[in-house]
Structure 1
Amino acid sequence: MPSAVPAKVIGSRQGGTAYTERSAVRVIVTSSDGGDSRVVLVKARKENYYKLPGGGVDEGEDYQKAAEREVLEETGFHVSVEGEYFATTEEFRNDLHQISYCYRARLLDEAGKPNLTEEELADGLSHEWVPVENALQIMLSVEPTSELGLYIKERDMFLLAEALRSN
């Protein structure tokens, strides 16, 4: 990994644990509405946290295409990923070792409908546009009710802060 790309490690490798390796993408989708810049956040009602759109990369899948696919699935938005990833996180969670690559994307069309999995529907996922300047505070203001939610909050607040810092 290039040293110029900010990285955050969440959790720690536990000796004797056989980890499942997973690559994932996270996406900062922005849009301007009458001159005001907005970012889309995904809300998980069941466990009370916000996250960035994103998810796992399928074997052999291009990471930028995976980012566009995940945004489409979770929000219904067609986006165009702009450039290479700008930050990463490495997570050790139970028996999962996941590296997430964060991209920026430009909104092309928001006329579609999300295509959520049964698990995502059960989690009460929905999305909302928020002003960029309020996004971190909105994520910070909720207290996740699960360990997973706490990991996601830490990961995605870091990625969003890096996106805002590097703009």
Structure 2
Amino acid sequence: MNRVDVVYSVILKKGKVLMVKNKKYDNWTLPGGGVEKGETLEQAAQREVWEETGLNVKVGKLLTVNEAFRQKENNHVLFFTFLAEAFDGEVVVQDKGGILDAEWKDLSFANEAVPYYEGGIEGLLETSLSYNFQGVQA
């Protein structure tokens, strides 16, 4: 299996979380994507947020690490989710080929769309770093 690192960012504003709708999978996720060769996790998180939402962010603490085997793609994926704070920009999709939309969503919506976090988004914010194996995925 190929090792793939993916970063996500939790960006909050007035009790909502910024989410993006991915074209490839037709689903809502946190802003994020693959770490490029020679890029740190923090750099990848900043780049992915900008590409998908038009926002510049300061990446904060690491909230969780999740792991999955994606057999269909022959990938062993590690997902790193960070807390991030927007300091500049407007929400505008830059990567129109990969992202259909970017919107501030209620936490209940986010928790249903991305059920990989034990305790939901709120739980990530209240606890120390956690690890969750997401299982073997087809």
Q: When the two structures are superposed, what TM-score results if normalisation uses the length of structure 1?
A: 0.64
Q: CA deviation at 1:159?
A: 3.3
Counterpart CA distance in 2 for 1:109 and 1:66 is 17
Q: Equivalent residue of 1:157, what SS? A: coil
Counterpart CA distance in 2 for 1:30 and 1:39 is 5
Q: CA deviation at 1:109?
A: 2.2
Is the 2:92–2:102 contact (alpha carbons within 8 Å) kept by the matching residues of 1? no
1:82 aligns with 2:60: yes
How many aligned positions are there? 123
Q: Hey, what does 2:31 align to over in structure 1?
A: 53
Q: Equivalent residue of 2:93, what SS? A: coil
Q: CA deviation at 1:60?
A: 2.0
Is the 1:136–1:160 contact (alpha carbons within 8 Å) kept by the matching residues of 2? no
Q: Equivalent residue of 1:158, what SS? A: coil
1:135 aligns with 2:113: no
* Between structures 1 and 2, the one with greater helix share: 1
Which runs of 5 or more residues in structure 2 are unaligned? Answer: 127-138
Q: Equivalent residue of 2:116, what SS? A: helix
Q: Hey, what does 1:157 align to over in structure 2?
A: 115
Q: Deviation per CA, 1:3-31: give whole Å up to 9, x if none.
A: xxxxxxxxxxxxxxxx1211110111112
1:110 aligns with 2:85: no
Amino acid at match of 1:77: L
Find 1:126's aligned residue among 93, 97, 101: 101
* Between structures 1 and 2, the one with greater strand share: 2
Counterpart CA distance in 2 for 1:133 and 1:110 is 26
| Greater displacement, 56-65 / 125-134 | 125-134
Q: When the two structures are superposed, what TM-score results if normalisation uses the length of structure 2?
A: 0.76
Counterpart CA distance in 1 for 2:55 and 2:67 is 27
Counterpart CA distance in 1 for 2:24 and 2:38 is 32
Q: Deviation per CA, 1:55-93: give whole Å up to 9, x if none.
A: 11112211112101100001111111112x121111111
Cα distance change on mapping 1:77 and 1:160 into 2, 3 Å: farther
Alignment RMSD (CA, Å): 2.2
Percentage of pairs with the same residue: 28
